[in-house]
Amino acid sequence: MTNEVFEFEFDDRYRRLLGLLGIRPDTCRVVVGDDHVRVAFGPWKVATDLANLAGAELSGPYSAIKAIGPRVSLSDRGLTFGTGTRQGVCLRFRRPIGPLRHPGLTVTVADPRALMERLLVRTPGSGGP
């Protein structure tokens, strides 16, 4: 089983604040395996099977008030793990995840396009190899 790790992009303006929450480069990552996606964001962690991914899309830029830190959207319960405002990837789930039943998760990784490529190739039913 192969795992590919995607690091978060940390905006220096928010690094100190995030560090107080335990959110640091060494505690944050997205790991995509052959059959799963796992996300660590400081003390917060989520995981799901790749078969649960309904899609993924690039998003951003964001306003800091809506994107920095762990966030839950009041409108749709979507989850955000944000360390920057430039760009991220929004993962949409077939079955919501977590105790609050999150229908999606946005992550602000350093290379969002590479994460998208990995997900599109590895997601079951995507037509990839």
The average pLDDT across 84-111 equals 97
pLDDT of residue 69: 98
Output the pTM of the full model. Answer: 0.92
Specify the 3-state DSSP secondary structure of 63. Answer: coil
pLDDT-based confidence at residue 60 (cuts at 50, 70, 90): very high
Proportion of the chain above pLDDT 70, given as a percent: 92
Where b means 16+ CB within 10 Å and e means fewer, 8-35 reads bbbbeebeeebeeeebeeebbbbebeee
Q: Which amino acid is at 73?
A: S
pLDDT-based confidence at residue 44 (cuts at 50, 70, 90): very high
- Strands across the sheet containing 88-97: 53-59, 88-97, 102-107, 79-82, 69-72
Instruction: Please name the residues in contact with 125: beta carbons below 8 A apart, sequence gap of 6 or more.
Output: 51
Looking at residue 35, the DSSP 8-state letter turns out to be S
Give the start-to-end residue ranges of the domains of the chain.
4-122
Over 60: is that where the pLDDT of 126 sits?
no
Quick count: other Cβ atoms within 10 Å of Cβ 67? 23
Handedness of CA 94, 34, 44, 24 (dihedral sign): negative
Specify the 3-state DSSP secondary structure of 56. Answer: strand
